[in-house]
A and B are shown apart, each in its own frame.
Chain A
Amino acid sequence: EPEVTQTPSHQVTQMGQEVILRCVPISNHLYFYWYRQILGQKVEFLVSFYNNEISEKSEIFDDQFSVERPDGSNFTLKIRSTKLEDSAMYFCASSEFLEETQYFGPGTRLLVL
């Protein structure tokens, strides 16, 4: 069964450093999403992406964040200058069409020291 994959599973970084989180969505899917979950809190929407551009973004997704689909398979989330409060689980999701089920990857646990 096709699934969304994410790498790395864990990332530890120093405050102020750049991180890139990688996702491989399900191959025939066209819509891609990033969500995050701070430890003990709710899952929060960050951004949706379609046709090589951002469709929607939340207030969390400020100028420090960017997304890219650098090739036909990867979808990345970049945090330019990490802050302590960026420590969270980051989940990638994809769906075939807009109003279709989103399937999630296993997540990347980011720890900013």
Chain B
Amino acid sequence: DAKTTQPTSMDCAEGRAANLPCNHSTISGNEYVYWYRQIHSQGPQYIIHGLKNNETNEMASLIITEDRKSSTLILPHATLRDTAVYYCIVPMDSNYQLIWGAGTKLIIKP
């Protein structure tokens, strides 16, 4: 089973920041949190990952709580093309296989 829990769906207005939460309360000290998204059954697209510090790249920001039990992915200015299913994943220790949950379906509304 996935080590993470996410809301099933969220809406966000175009141009606003989309904040997607994820709980990973059983994460261990050396495990990373990864975020991917999947647009309409296309191949999963890597977004960002982090260990304990906040991270930012050209796509998004990742805020990880100090206790590392939860994180938030932030899309700063959401566009219609950001409509997708977003997955928060903690890879399994032994072989780094990705265990996928149902993700959060993010719908960006005009």
Chain A interface residue count, CB cutoff 8 Å, equals 28
Q: Hey, which chain A residues are within 8 Å of B97, CB to CB?
A: 33, 45, 48, 56, 58
* B43 on interface, CB distance cutoff 8 Å: yes
Q: Hey, which chain A residues are within 8 Å of B45, CB to CB?
A: 104
Q: Chain A: interface secondary structure?
A: strand
Contact of A56 among B44, B87, B94, B102 (CB under 8 A): B94
Q: Is the CB of B46 within 8 A of A101?
A: yes
Chain B interface residue count, CB cutoff 8 Å, equals 22
- Total number of residue pairs linking A and B with CB closer than 8 Å: 56
Q: Chain B: interface secondary structure?
A: loop
* A98 on interface, CB distance cutoff 8 Å: yes
Closest to A100 in B: B96
Within 8 A of A (CB), among B38-63: 38, 41-46, 49
* A65 on interface, CB distance cutoff 8 Å: no
Q: How far is the CA of A35 from the CA of B91 in the complex (A)?
A: 14
